[in-house]
Amino acid sequence: PETEGATWYKTVCRYCGVGCGVMVAAKDNRVVAVKGDTENPVNKGLLCVKGYYLDRIMNTEEGRILKPLIRKNGQLTEASWDEALDLVAARFREAIDQHGPDSVGFYGSGQNLAEETYIANKLFKGCIGTNNVEGNPRTCMASAVAGFLSTFGKDEPMGNLDDIEHADTFFIIGSNTAEAHPIIYSRITTRKQTGKDVKVILADPRRHRVADIADIFLPFRPGTDLALLNAFAQVIIEEGLHDPDFIERHTTFQDGNGAITFEQYVAFLQDYTPEKVAPITGLSPDDIRAAAREIGARGRKTMTLWCMGINQRTVGTWLNNAIYNLHLLTGKICQPGNSPFSLTGQPSACGSVREGGGLSHLLPCGRQVTNEQHRKEVAAVWGVDYTRMSDKVGYHTMEMFRAAGDGRIKALLISCTNPGHSLPNLNSVRASLEKTFLVVMDAFHNRTTELADVVLPSALWCEKEGIYGNTERRTQHLAKAVEPKGEARPDVWILLEIAKRLGYGEYFSHYTSNEVIWEEFRKMGGGGTGYDYAPYERYKQERGLRWPVNDKQPAGTTLRYVEGDDPFVPEGAGIYFYGKPDGKAVIYARPHRDPAEVPDAEYPFYLSTGRILEHWHTITMTKRVPEIMKGAGEFYCEIHEEDAARLGIQNGDLVKLTSRRGQVVATARVGGRAVPQKGLVFLLMHDDRTERLANFLTNDAVDETSKQMEYKVCAVRVEKA
Helix residue ranges, H only, 331-396: 372-382
Length of the chain as a residue count: 721
Indicate the residue among 307 and 400 with the shorter CB distance to ligand SF4.
307
CB of 186 to ligand SF4, least distance (A): 8
Write the DSSP assignment of 12-73 as a string of letters.
E-SS-TT--EEEEEEETTEEEEEEE-TT-TTTTT---HHHHTHHHHHS--TTB--S-EEEET
Closest distance to ligand SF4 from the beta carbon of 308 (Å):
15
CB of 397 to ligand SF4, least distance (A): 24
Residue 481 makes CB contacts below 8 A (sequence gap 6+) with 7, 9, 11, 24, 26, 31, 462, 463
- Nearest to ligand SF4 of 58, 70 (CB atom): 58
Distance CA 371, CA 362 (A): 10
Closer residue to ligand SF4 (CB): 331 or 347: 347
Q: How far apart are CA 583 and CA 645, in angstroms?
A: 56
Kindly report the backbone phi and psi dihedral angles of residue 636, in degrees, each rounded to the nearest multiple of 5, phi listed first: -155, 175
Cβ nearer to ligand SF4, comparing 247 with 628: 628
Task: Compute the distance between CA of residue 675 and CA of residue 669 in angstroms, rounded to an integer.
Answer: 9
Q: Report which of 191, 168, 182 is spatially closest to residue 304, judged by C-alpha positions.
A: 168
Which long-range CB contacts under 8 A does 384-390 form with residues at least 24 apart? Answer: 384/122, 384/126, 384/127, 384/507, 388/126, 388/127, 388/129, 389/125, 389/126, 389/129, 390/101, 390/102, 390/125, 390/129, 390/130, 390/131
- Residue positions annotated with a catalytic role: 50, 140-141, 308, 345-346
Close Cβ partners of 388 (under 8 Å, ≥ 6 residues apart):
126, 127, 129, 379
Give the whole-angstrom CA distance, residue 676 versus residue 691.
23
Give whichever of 44 and 91 is closer to ligand SF4, judged by the CB atom. Answer: 44
410 within 8 A of 100, measured Cβ to Cβ: no
Q: Least distance to ligand SF4 from the beta carbon of 114, Å?
A: 17
CA distances from 255 to 111, 258, 267, 327 (A): 36, 6, 12, 18
SS3 372: helix
Tell me whether residue 471 or residue 557 sits nearer to ligand SF4 (CB atom). Answer: 471
Residue pair 514/114 in contact (Cβ under 8 Å)? The answer is: no
Distance CA 655, CA 676 (A): 16
Of 367 and 477, nearer to ligand SF4 (C-beta) is 477
Q: In this complex, which beta carbon is closest to ligand SF4, that of residue 48 or of residue 307?
A: 48
In the complex with ligand SF4, the residue whose CB is nearer, 124 or 461, is: 461
**Residue ranges in contact with ligand SF4 by CB under 6 A:** 13, 15-16, 18-20, 43, 47-48, 50-51, 182-183
Which of residues 17 and 126 has its CB atom nearest to ligand SF4 in the complex? Answer: 17
Single-letter code of the amino acid located at 318: W
Q: Which residue stretches of 128-259 are H helix?
A: 137-140, 142-152, 177-180, 182-194, 225-238, 244-250
Buried b (16+ CB within 10 A) or exposed e, 45-81: ebbbbbbbbbbbbbeeeeebbebbbbbeeeebeebeb
Instruction: Evaluate the CA torsion angle 5, 11, 14, 18 in order and state its sign.
Output: positive
The answer to whether the beta carbons of residues 190 and 178 sit under 8 Å apart is no
Residue 84 DSSP SS3: helix
